[in-house]
Amino acid sequence: MTKLTLGSHPFLLGFEQLERLVERTAKAGNEGYPPFNIEQTSENAYRITLAVAGFRDEDLSITVENRQLVIRGRQAEDGAERVFLHRGIAARQFQRSFVLAEGVEVAGAMLENGLLHVDLERAVPETVVQTIRINRA
């Protein structure tokens, strides 16, 4: 018996990319730093919030590459010699990736009180009704 995959189901024409998208998402690293929240702020809007205490806006970069939102953080090394008796605040670089659905765009980003907020909006597609003419043979 042949196993049907999501992309090969006869009623899902043109959804082959969805299966690749699921595979790409599953392969993405799920390390816990930095912690983040994803919330739905309205019917067609979302907000990703990352806890980036100690990072300045110039230490962070946000890009969209091939429908993938990539947030990177890299802190500049302090030139001053500092002696830590205890170092509990992470000062390491990171990369977090989120796969965006078709039609979801980044609306903006804001750094506030150690939290990076990335706002996303989904464009509402217009309903299109297309009539197909039947030709005679």
Mean pLDDT by 10 residues, the chain (137 residues): 60 68 62 89 96 92 93 79 80 88 94 96 89 92
d(CA 9, CA 13): 8
122: which residues sit within 8 A by CB, 6+ positions away? 44, 45, 46, 101, 103, 104, 105
Nearest to 94 by CA among 53, 47, 37: 53
Q: DSSP secondary structure string, 91-107?
A: ---EEEEEEPPTTEEEE
Looking at the structure, tell me whether residues 48 and 98 fall in a common domain. Answer: yes
Q: What is the pTM of this model?
A: 0.70
62 and 114 housed in the same domain:
yes
Residue at 132 is within a domain: no
129 in any annotated domain: no
Range of the domain at 38: 32-122
pLDDT number for residue 46: 96
How many structural domains is the chain composed of? 2
Q: Say whether both 38 and 98 belong to one domain.
A: yes
